Amino acid sequence: MPYCDQSSNGIRIFYRRCGHGSTKVLLIIGLAGTHDSWGPQIKGLTGAVEPNDEEEAPTETVGGESNTLGEEVREGDGIEVCCFDNRGVGRSSVPTEKSDYTTTIMAEDALALLDHLGWKNAHVFGHSMGAMIACKLAAMAPDRICSLALLNVTGGGFECFPKIDLQMLSLAFRFLRAKTPEQRAMVDLETHYTKEYLDECVGSCQLNACWTHNMTSKELETIRSSGFLVTIIHGRDDIIAQLDHARRLAKKLQPVARMVELHGAHLVSHERPEEVNLALMELIKASKSKLEPEEWSHLAESESGCLVLKIQPPLNNRNKDGANSLIMYKLLGKLHLSFLYFFGAFSRDMNTSEILSK
Residue (of 86, 88, 70) closest to 133 by Cα position: 86
Q: Dump pLDDT digits (tens) for 206-229.
A: 889 988 999 999 999 999 999 999
**Single pTM value for the model:** 0.74
Q: What is the mean pLDDT of residues 110-136?
A: 97
Name beta bridge partners: 232.
Answer: 150, 259
**Three state DSSP letters for the chain:** CCEEEECCCCEEEEEEEEEEECEEEEEECCCCCCHHHHHHHHHHHHCCCCCCCCCCCCCCCCCCHHHHHHHHHHCCCEEEEEEECCCCCCCCCCCCCHHHCCHHHHHHHHHHHHHHHCCCCEEEEEECHHHHHHHHHHHHCHHHEEEEEEECCCCCHHHHCCCCCHHHHHHHHHHHHCCCHHHHHHHHHHHHCCHHHHHHCCCHHHHHHHHHCCCCHHHHHHHHHCCCEEEEEEECCCCCCCHHHHHHHHHHCCCCEEEEEECCCCCHHHHCHHHHHHHHHHHHHHHHCCCCHHHHCCCCECCCCCEEEECCCCCCCCCCCCHHHHHHHHHHCCCCCHHHHHCCCCCCCHHHHHHHHC
Q: Identify the weakest region by mean pLDDT among 64-73, 172-181, 249-258.
A: 64-73
Statement: residue 323 has pLDDT above 60: no
Q: What is the mean pLDDT of residues 271-286?
A: 96
Examine residue 255 and say whether the peptide bond preceding it is cis (omega within 30 degrees of 0): yes
Q: Dump pLDDT digits (tens) for 233-258.
A: 999 999 889 999 999 999 999 999 99
Statement: residue 273 has pLDDT above 60: yes
Q: What is the mean pLDDT of residues 341-348?
A: 41
Q: What is the mean pLDDT of residues 6-31?
A: 93
- Mean pLDDT rounded to a whole number for the chain: 78
Q: Dump pLDDT digits (tens) for 73-114.
A: 444 579 999 999 999 999 999 999 999 999 999 999 999 999
**In the prediction, which pLDDT does 13 show?**
97
Question: Are 139 and 150 within 8 A, CB to CB?
Answer: no
